Structure 1
Amino acid sequence: MTETYQRKVLNIAKLTLVLGTLCFIVYKLFFAYNIQDLASGNNFTFTNSKIILLTATVLLIVPNIAIDSLKWKLVMIQHEKVSWLQSLQAVSAGIALGIITPNRIGDFAGKALFLKTYDKIKGAIASFIGSIAQTLAIVCCGSVGLWILTLQQQYINNVQFYCGLVAIGILLSLVYYLYINIHWLNRIISWRKITPYVDAFTHYSQKELTTLFILSLIRFGIFNIQYFLLLHFFDVPIAMQYAFPSLAAIFVVQAFVPSIILIEMGVRGATALFFLGLFSTNTSGILLAAYSLWILNIMFPALLGLYFILKLKARSAA
């Protein structure tokens, strides 16, 4: 395959991706999420305090992306030296590809595009480590959040309380143990064609996996703080002791719903209304907060990712 042909194929692929992603974003904002109608139906007024809330929420995008970039650097540390810029490019490109693919599988491929020396298929598989760490953080916090919500909403006797507490403790301990011993996966999967790629999981120590998990917890905390600030920005003043368990529950439900475009659009709003609706009747405010979180943490980085993908050269993508 000549370099000229590679360049043409890559340019067509990039153009298709950019147009597809932009169409998807426009569809989300103006048709699926119906932002304009929601905003007009919300008696919203700008005040100095709301400007501070919005500014703080937007600024939190920086540590959010920075932590995700650091996670990618740590994932690749055993395979290839990745610069901060390269990591930022990989993470944002992963988000861009992730939003237009089922279950965000494009995220793994998007990150691997910017690897220079390491095998891109192995790189995409290795990126599962960071995703698993983030999912584990969501499961841990979400399980606790669901349990706290249960305690807040109905009476539970001492036996039920301690049984539930022990069950959650055992479940989370088991999941965490499996995570820090993920190298066992290489022994379970023995198919010769796949083994060389799954071997990427064996390169991480328990200390490195724990570091990824802690970073994922911090990132999950940032998501929750942003969500909480947006709720208050859109006049949904839910107290912290009720808001944070509800938000953790929302994230854990969304994490396990198949991310097919039509399903995800309904689930994002439905889960927010189900849990936050327990404490507020401001439906439009709840939906605006949920969709604004998507705009800040998914749409903006995805647009940045599209820029990096457009700048990608044929030889780098090969």
Structure 2
Amino acid sequence: MIYTLPYKTKQFFFVLIKISTVVAAFYFIHQKLTNNNVLEFYTFIGFLNKNGIFSLKTIIFLAVLTGFNWFFEILKWQKLVSPTKKITLKNASEQSLGALTASLLTPNRIGEYGAKAIYYTKDFRKCILLINLLSNLLQMGVTTILGVIGFSFFVSKYHIALAYPKLFQFILIIAFSTALVIFILRKTKLSIKGFSLEKMKTFILKYPKKLIAIGFCLSLLRYLIFSFQFYYLLTIFGIHISYLHAMSIITSMYLLASIIPSIFVFDVLIKGSVAVYLFSFVGVNAFTVLCIVTLMWIFNFVFPSILGSYFVLNFKFPEDDL
């Protein structure tokens, strides 16, 4: 129906959507920081000031790590999308940061798929959706591989008592459910956004292996950067723990947090809860852990979202949508 509206009406409508998206994102960020029952805002700020977080050296170093984190994400998007359409690093920045802002309120950042796709004309959008899926799978692959390794070390070091009979039952249920889903998908022609799951599989298998390898390496670099950023914050708050020891906990945290569905803006609470539990084994108090998780969220998602809001407000639809 929207395509039948007059040009000026459509322009007004899309401007309203862009402004609403940015306002909503800023509102939820503000609410999450100031109306947090778990971490009172002024206590949080006072604690940061006490530990020297606001020193110029510390802020610059944390900002540099954030910059590299998002640079590699932007570079990864530019590389992965290149077989479909060549874009500049500036275009990739607009799409990555703009999509971050637009997807801030959606469960598990699902809105990112549509946000990136609308930067392209209709004939490219299905392919862009699949490329974004591939990009997220590569990042999830790194999180899973390092998470499983880290969690294995964590469990062996702290001799966590696992209920093996219940764990075995859980694994059997998951395996049976997965096998059932695969069987149903093979017997039906289920499609998502106009393309079948078989086409999705074919697309990924036929995608240039060199670009997949590059995407995986860039995902790994991102992971090493933001996990080191977490470790650096531990040292700033006076937590004396070896890097490898800390990494076994940090990788476990990201693995466990990544498999819990969430609205993205509440991701900080989920990571916070998991982190508080895991770091309790090394005697780190809950308040310190929550401060670190919140800072990670601010530097890696809030600040980039603020930059992304500029791109959202200046977004222009492709010509075929006008």
Is 1:11 aligned to residue 12 of structure 2? no
Q: Match of 2:29?
A: 25
Q: Give 1:20-99 correspondences, 5 Å limit.
A: 20-32=24-36, 33-40=39-46, 44-46=50-52, 52-99=57-104
Contact residue 6 and residue 314 of structure 1 kept, 8 A: no
Distance apart, 1:213 and its partner CA: 1.2
CA distance in 2, matches of 1:284, 1:125: 40
Runs of 4+ in 1 over 6 A off after TM superposition: 186-189
- Cα gap change, 1:291 to 1:147, in 2 (>3 Å): same
- Tell me whether 271-280 or 189-198 shows the greater mean CA deviation: 189-198
TM-score (norm 2): 0.80
CA deviation string 1:28-66 (max 9, x = no partner): 111235332234357824399x65444322111121111
Distance apart, 1:9 and its partner CA: 1.6
Distance apart, 1:190 and its partner CA: 4.4
Q: Give 1:227-238 correspondences, 5 Å limit.
A: 227-238=230-241
- Cα gap change, 1:279 to 1:191, in 2 (>3 Å): closer
CA deviation string 1:207-243 (max 9, x = no partner): 3212211111111000111111112222333321321
CA deviation string 1:105-157 (max 9, x = no partner): 0122222233357523431232111000000000000001101112221299x
Q: Give 1:141-160 correspondences, 5 Å limit.
A: 141-154=146-159
Among 216, 219, 234, the alignment partner of 1:216 is: 219
The letter for the 2-side match of 1:227 is F
- Cα gap change, 1:202 to 1:293, in 2 (>3 Å): same
Is 1:243 aligned to residue 246 of structure 2? yes
Q: Match of 1:177?
A: none
Helix, strand or coil: the match of 1:152? helix
Q: Give 1:101-180 correspondences, 5 Å limit.
A: 101-115=106-120, 119-154=124-159
CA distance in 1, matches of 2:294, 2:320: 33
* Contiguous gaps of at least 5 residues in structure 2: 162-184
Which structure ranks higher in relative contact order (CA pairs < 8 Å, sequence separation ≥ 6)? 2
Contact residue 146 and residue 251 of structure 2 kept, 8 A: yes
Contact residue 119 and residue 317 of structure 2 kept, 8 A: no
* Contiguous gaps of at least 5 residues in structure 1: 157-185
- Cα gap change, 1:285 to 1:95, in 2 (>3 Å): same
Among 285, 294, 299, the alignment partner of 2:297 is: 294
CA distance in 2, matches of 1:298, 1:309: 15
Q: Match of 1:160?
A: none
Q: Match of 1:194?
A: 195
- Over the aligned positions, Cα root-mean-square deviation in angstroms equals 2.9
TM-score (norm 1): 0.81
